[in-house]
Amino acid sequence: MSQFLANHMKTMKPYTPGHQPKKGEYIKLNTNENPFPPPPEVSEIMSESAKSLHLYSDTNCKLLTDTFAEHYQISPESVIFANGSDEILAFCYMAFCDSDKGMCFPSISYGFYPVYADLFNIDGKKIPLNPDLTISPDHYFNQDHHIVIANPNAPTGIALTLSQIEEILVHNPKNVVIIDEAYVHFGGESAMKLTETYQNLIVCGTFSKSRNLAGGRLGYAVAHPSLLADLNLVKFSFNPYNVNTLTQALGVASIKNDRYFQHCTQSVVKTRRYFIDSFDKLGFHTLPSCANFIFTKHHDRDGAFLFEKLKEHKILVRHFDQEPINQYLRITIGTQEEMAVVVQKMTQILEENHA
């Protein structure tokens, strides 16, 4: 820390990204990446796009916007893109929060929600989950804060229904409600269409998970044009060129190859079913997941212990040393082959370490 750091930054605790080991060192199931590479045609598209990189990227992401809008049958005026959905979330905090009005979110959820509250020096209010780690919509009624909820939630994987989200929207006419759909394509229901009815709704999402592009950094928000205008005001006051030329082309390619997208997401869902069943048989209780990860705990073995044991076996998952989730492991769904290895190694760990 230097002597120049602004006062409100001095207690700032940054976000901790998941550990990124050297390639091939681990079966890497700790950061909810897609086990499948992007569609093969992107290699040639990148090779071609590279030739015009001396020119600025399109600040309006026009081709990407039109392609996305057509695919999801929404208006091109109701979508904006950013450098990952993290940047979308940051833009929301910057546009709508101030010392008079902060942001509220589930007490157990994506780690960035409280970090942004600290960074932008606004009130971040944590709303506890139920004892079964579900979210109660009525806890969010008539808030004095804006609201951000991950749906499905992370790290639980549990999803709200669209009618539960509508209840929250109806009971918050004076607040912006942000539904973060990072994992929606693995079993949740998108609230995107509700943006046509509710002018206080922002649906955000990412190409990092279901669209195989974590390293490409592309996020989006869909909302009523009046909210979009606010987000664009922030974008054009912060970094108008936030989505580079290559990433725009990646986004277009991903949307166009819907067959590949469906193949990858369905493979993950199928493997998730196999994996939950196998872990059930080993004595695990797994929350009902609508995401590309599961959140699971063993009936009598310690979460931190199992995390370390898996790591010894070169399998990297995520463990949060925090009540009330410190007995759980968050395990990303990899390929069928990878998950079979996890089942085999876990069987071995449990046999070798009787309770």
Site for a copy of itself in 105-134 (CB under 8 A): 115-116, 118-119
Q: Which listed range, 17-25, 69-77, 292-300, 313-321, lies at the site for a copy of itself (CB under 8 A)?
A: 17-25
Interface map 135-174 toward a copy of itself (x if CB under 8 A): -----------x----------------------------
Quote the CA–CA distance of 94 and 103 in Å, as a whole number: 11
Site for a copy of itself in 48-107 (CB under 8 A): 48-59, 83-84, 86-87, 90, 94-98, 100-101
Q: Which listed range, 123-131, 136-144, 189-197, 213-221, lies at the site for a copy of itself (CB under 8 A)?
A: 213-221
Task: Single out the residue of 241, 262, 285, 337 in contact with a copy of itself (rule: CB under 8 A).
Answer: 241
- Residue 189 CB-density burial (10 A; 0-12 exposed, 13-18 middle, 19+ buried): middle
1 is a site residue for a copy of itself (CB under 8 A) = yes
Query: Contact 130/136 with Cβ under 8 angstroms?
Result: yes
38 is a site residue for a copy of itself (CB under 8 A) = yes
CB nearer to a copy of itself: give 260 or 284.
260
Return the number of other C-beta atoms located less than 10 Å from residue 352's C-beta. Answer: 8
Query: Contact 221/83 with Cβ under 8 angstroms?
Result: no
Residue 35, strand partner residues? none
21 is a site residue for a copy of itself (CB under 8 A) = no
Quote the CA–CA distance of 19 and 310 in Å, as a whole number: 14
Size of the site for a copy of itself (CB under 8 A): 91
Beta strands, E only, 151-199: 177-180
CB nearer to a copy of itself: give 37 or 324.
37
347 is a site residue for a copy of itself (CB under 8 A) = no
204 is a site residue for a copy of itself (CB under 8 A) = no
Site for a copy of itself in 272-301 (CB under 8 A): none
Site for a copy of itself in 244-273 (CB under 8 A): 244-247, 250
**Least Cβ distance, residue 58 to a copy of itself (angstroms):** 7
**Least Cβ distance, residue 33 to a copy of itself (angstroms):** 5
Query: Contact 237/214 with Cβ under 8 angstroms?
Result: no
**Least Cβ distance, residue 345 to a copy of itself (angstroms):** 22
Q: How far is CA 288 from the centre of its chain?
A: 17
Quote the CA–CA distance of 292 and 226 in Å, as a whole number: 33
Structure tokens at 7: 């006062």
Quote the CA–CA distance of 258 and 201 in Å, as a whole number: 26
Pairing of the two strands 315-316 and 27-28: parallel
Q: Looking at the chain, how many residues does it have? A: 355
